[in-house]
Amino acid sequence: MTTDNRKEILKRGAIWAFILVELAFFSIIGDRLSVSDKAFMDYANMLLLLKQSAPIGIIALGMTIIMINGNIDLSVGATFALAAIVLLDSMTWPFMQALGDWAIPLAWVFALLTGATLGAINGLIVWKTGVDAFIVTLGSMLGFRGLVFMFNGEQPTSHLNWTLVDFAEGHFLGLHTPTWFLLCAALVLWLLMTRTVHGRNAYAIGNNREAAVNAGIRVGPHMLLNFILIGFLAALSAVVFYSESGSVNPNDGMLFELWAITAVVLGGTKLAGGYGSIISTLGGVIAIQLLRKGLGHIGADTQTVNLVIGLILIAVLILDRQLNRKGQGELKI
Amino acid sequence: MTLTKQDIGRLLAKQGILIAFAVFMIGFALANQRFIAIDNIAGVIRSSAILGVMALGVTFVVIGGNLDLSVGSMMSFSTIVVLDLHDKIGPTLAIPAMFGLTLLLGAFIGFLVGYLKLNSLIVTLGMLSAIHGLTLTWSGGKNMDIADKSGTWFSFFGQDRIFGIPMPILIFALLAVLLSLLLARTPFGRKVYAVGGNGQAATFSGIPRARIVFFTYLISAFCVAMAGLLQASRSLGSQNTVGQGMELEVLAAVILGGASLLGGAGTVFKTVVGVLILGFIQNGLLLVGLDFYVQYIVTWAIIILAVWLDVAAKRGRLWSPIA
């Protein structure tokens, strides 16, 4: 085994090792400090953890492929909110109500199409104008939020459909419905990134755009597809979340982009592009959720969670730099 | 002398932001007389002052080639801290104490980004979260209010006037002039441009890159502390999330002013223009009778058009060469 190989395994395994440490810490220390007498490693608790990871997790998956491609998307929170509003609002349209429960899949389609369209707008602007994705999506973060407010002003949009709520709260083969959505999305994206030409080219473009162009890869369509995918996934996340809750505030989804980026970076994906994996992001998402739940379990307040996650993010960055000491693979924007 | 297409392009790129500003002002003024009334203009500048003060500091960070996403969260921190300390140790001590603590946070970020050379986007993202946690811990999650609101001179910074000029405008203007001089007329300013423009070249020519980056974050933290002071003094009470989301608005203003995210370009004056454009558009759209959310959509269009014009002029063609 070469040093490079060993380093690679070390890097890929780091997030899973971190999860194990968290589990051990919260089960041993946590159960002593805990306010409740339930064990932390309770089966139901762990299932709930996966379910709660789903909304941010699905967005983080999309952020991973965007970042592997060398871009970033700050507008996912606004896309999430707009898709949620379309989902709930569309079910109250007269012709949809005439459809009965068949309105549900149609409302999903509307929401997902909204997300994909918003993603396509971002992607086209980045492709055609050549403006940096950071700026484009910073702008559309504001713009999409404006569209959200157009629906109902500052009022929340609500619609409860009990068939839908039952489905979203249900279990299937032992796992919650949202968990299945997260796992399926992860599987599809993993196949996309590791087994298809698009995935290979996305890595190549993120790694060295000029070289990719010289190798005859058309950069634009790949970027566009990735933006459509992240828009779609942000909408999927909204579908998963709001099918259950049934009410959306116009400010919902704010700072989701930052949470998603945090999970992706914890998973080891490089901001500069060309390196990262879907599976590691899944690890990052679970690690953050474990931390939230674990700190809650030992009686810490939400404020401590923010503090700890922020500091861990920085610590990961420092560690990562130590691993890449020789100047190779240094992070840059 | 005839103007060629290229000349027009270059002019648009160089002064595009000012031209757009002028066009907007004239358009709104024609649509509604009240828009150019002195008290309306003063009102706009006054309500933009807090965002503006923060944007001044972030300009230094961005020109130095880095980002600062923690300013919103840091502003909440300074506001909460100064309000809390006001009742505990009195305003005279609370203000310097708050400035000290905020500068300490800035120094920490500056150390991580400057000396440890960590990625500024992720560091300040982490700090956004961490400082928010710190603020909540400080306040216990409760809103912070000054007990005796009418009996304190603390409202001086946010509510008083000198020669008829509201203090926030005065502070914003004074800080803008000082920082503009610092950036444009001193060796330190030139070094900030050098570090942001080409960090490696700057290092080779003997400029202490780490120290310069460190100082840009200190300046940013100082401006944030000032913004927190204005905010606290204006309202004499605050939620824990008062600055939430402002980091991206600030960045939008700085980018609108023409600072490049890659570093090395931008001026304090242009950032002020960027801040004012955002403020006046918001105000103008409301005065013409449009709903408040229209400003978001308009701002979106303006940001992308502004940056697009800029990059288009630099590469000499409108559409990107990406295949």
> Which tens digit of pLDDT belongs to each residue from A260-296?
988 998 888 888 888 889 999 999 999 988 888 888 8
B165: closest CA of chain A, how far (Å): 32
A215-230 pLDDT, tens digit per residue, is 989 999 999 999 999 9
Distance CA A200, CA A222 (A): 10
Return residues 231-260 of B near A (CB < 8 Å). 244-245, 248, 251-252, 255
Q: pTM (2 decimals)?
A: 0.86
Q: Where are the domains of chain B?
A: 39-310
For residue A303, the enclosing domain spans 40-323
CB atoms within 10 A of CB B238: 23
Residue-wise pLDDT tens digits, B64-113: 999 898 999 999 999 999 999 988 888 889 999 999 999 999 999 999 99
Whether residue A92 lies inside any domain: the answer is yes
Minimal C-alpha gap between A186 and chain B (Å): 24
Band of residue A332 on the pLDDT scale cut at 50, 70, 90: very low
Contacts of B250 (CB under 8 A, 6+ apart): B51, B54, B55, B58, B71, B72
Higher pLDDT, A186 or B308: A186
Structure confidence by residue, pLDDT tens digits, A155-198: 888 888 888 888 888 888 888 889 999 999 999 999 999 999 99
Please identify which residue in the block is written with the tokens 């905010």: B231
Q: Where are the beta strands (DSSP E) in B143-240?
A: 144-145, 161-162, 165-166, 237-238
Which of B115, B293, B314 best probes binding to A when mutated, by most A CB atoms within 10 angstroms? B293
| pLDDT number for residue A155 | 86
Instruction: Please give the backbone phi and psi of residue B61, each rounded to the nearest 5 degrees, phi first.
Output: -60, -45
Residue type, B234: R
Distance CA A92, CA A80 (A): 19
Q: Is residue A331 part of a domain?
A: no
The answer to whether A275 touches A259, Cβ cutoff 8 Å, is no
Q: Is B166 strand, coil or helix? A: strand
Residues B257-288: tens digit of each pLDDT: 878 777 888 899 989 988 998 888 888 888 88
Query: Over chain A, what is the mean pLDDT?
Result: 86
Contacts of A147 in chain B (CB under 8 A): 293, 297
Question: Would you say residue A30 lies in a domain?
Answer: no
Is A252 inside a domain boundary? yes
Task: Taking residues A103-117, report their average pLDDT.
Answer: 93
Say if A46 falls within a structural domain: yes
User: What pLDDT shows up at residue B229?
Assistant: 93
Give the gap in angstroms from C-alpha A219 to the nearest C-alpha of chain B: 6
Q: What is the pLDDT of residue A36?
A: 65
**Class for the domain spanning B39-310:** mainly alpha
**Would you state the pLDDT for residue A328?**
45
Collapsing DSSP to helix, strand or coil, B296 comes out as helix
Host H or E run for residue B176: helix B167-185
* Confidence band of A148 (pLDDT split at 50, 70, 90): very high
In a domain, A106, yes or no: yes
Residues of chain A contacting B126 with CB distance shorter than 8 Å: 262, 309-314, 317
CA distance A125 to A123: 5
Q: How far apart, in whole angstroms, are the C-alpha atoms of residue A312 and residue A305?
A: 10
Q: What secondary structure does DSSP assign to A149-200, as a single string?
A: HHHHTTS-EE---HHHHHHHH-EETTEEHHHHHHHHHHHHHHHHHHHSHHHH
Span B136-175, pLDDT tens digits? 888 887 888 887 777 778 887 877 788 878 889 999 999 9
- Residue A170 resides in a domain: yes
The distance of B53 to chain A (nearest Cα, Å) reads 20
**Contact yes or no for B322 and A305 at CB 8 A:** no
Distance CA A132, CA A310 (A): 26
* Dist CA B295 CA B297 (whole Å): 5
pLDDT, tens digit (0-9, with 9 covering 90-100), for A111-126: 999 999 999 999 999 9
**CB-based contact A317 B244, cutoff 8 Å:** no
User: Inter-chain contact A135–B304, Cβ cutoff 8 Å?
Assistant: yes
Distance from CA of A138 to the nearest CA of B (A): 7
DSSP annotation string for B210-236:
HHHHHHHHHHHHHHHHHHHHHHHHHHS
**Burial degree of A306 (CB within 10 A; 0-12, 13-18, 19+):** buried
Cβ partners under 8 Å of residue A65, min gap 6:
A189, A192, A193, A202, A226, A229, A230, A278
Element (H, E) at A248: strand A247-248
CB contact under 8 A, A333 and B120: yes
pLDDT, residue A209, reads 87
For residues A206-212, give the mean pLDDT. 89
Is A16 among the domain residues?
no
Domain count within chain A: 1
* A258–chain B Cβ distance below 8 A for any pair: yes
**pLDDT value of position B6:** 67
Residue of A235, A240, A229 lying closest to A86 (CA atoms)? A235
